[in-house]
Amino acid sequence: MMSSSKMYVCRRCQKNFKTGEGKPDIRFPGLGRCNDCLSTAAANTSA
């Protein structure tokens, strides 16, 4: 069994997400943004 997905912690809401369920932050290993916060940020940017 290959487990290539890593676990990350969202920097905004502290939710755990895997690779593909959010966007890892290259500057902070193990941290990133979950899809919820990504869509929220996108909505805020485009609004």
Residues in contact with Zn ion by CB under 5 A are: 10, 12-13, 15, 34, 37
Cβ proximity to Zn ion, 7 vs 13, nearer residue: 13
Cβ proximity to Zn ion, 2 vs 14, nearer residue: 14
Shortest Cβ 30–Zn ion spacing (Å): 14
18 CB-near residues (< 8 Å, 6+ apart): 5, 6, 7, 8
- The CA distance from 5 to 40, in Å, is 24
Cβ proximity to Zn ion, 1 vs 42, nearer residue: 42
